[in-house]
Amino acid sequence: METKELRIFVYEYKSVDELPAEDQKLVKIAREAAKNAYAPYSKFHVGAALLLENNEIFSGNNQENASFPVGLCAERVALFAAHAQYPESKIKTLVITASGSRQVLETPVSPCGSCRQVFTEFEHEQQEPMRIILASGRGKIFVFDNAENLLPLSFFSDQLKH
């Protein structure tokens, strides 16, 4: 038996102002998208924005439903919309942000496991890293160089062939 260590890397910024201008723009778009979330049940508004290599920007927000499992997370709304329109264009950067109903969040929002699985499949398919930026209403920001950092040992379709 051997003990292996898996490491992930995250860059922590004190605030959105420290990010490059292109990333700041995406955070702003994601925050705007969060305002239009359909979240009557959780009151937790999530917004996402992504930049494709063709310079198109897509945004999304959480879409809830009275039948809870039917709803979809903001980041998957944005990713699926982008992939539906530009299936060949690689995703360069994805921003996720959130705000609660009673207070502005100060810690970066973290994507659910299902979304992480979608990130890693798209990243695997495009064979180039997809940067992930986790933000909130204000405060620090987490930046990951690639989606794999958020889901080490991901399940890929390659494994279906065996």
Q: Which residues on adjacent β-strands are paired with residue 52?
A: 91
The site map against Zn ion for 57-76 (x = CB under 5 A) is ----------------x---
* Gap between the Cα atoms of 49 and 82, Å rounded: 10
Task: Establish if 115 lies at the interface with Zn ion (CB under 5 A).
Answer: yes
| Parallel/antiparallel/unpaired status of strands 131-134 and 91-99 | parallel
Minimum distance between the CB of residue 152 and Zn ion, rounded to whole angstroms?
18
> Tokens 């494709």 identify what position?
52
The site for Zn ion, by CB under 5 A, has a size of 3
CB closer to Zn ion out of 15 and 112:
112
Compute how many other C-beta atoms are within 10 angstroms of the C-beta atom of residue 154: 16
Among 112, 152, 155, 156, the residue binding Zn ion under the rule CB under 5 A is 112
Q: Is 37 helix (H, G, I), strand (E, B) or coil?
A: coil
In the residue annotation, 106 being an active-site residue is answered as: no
Q: Which residues bind Zn ion (CB under 5 A)?
A: 73, 112, 115
Active site residues: 75
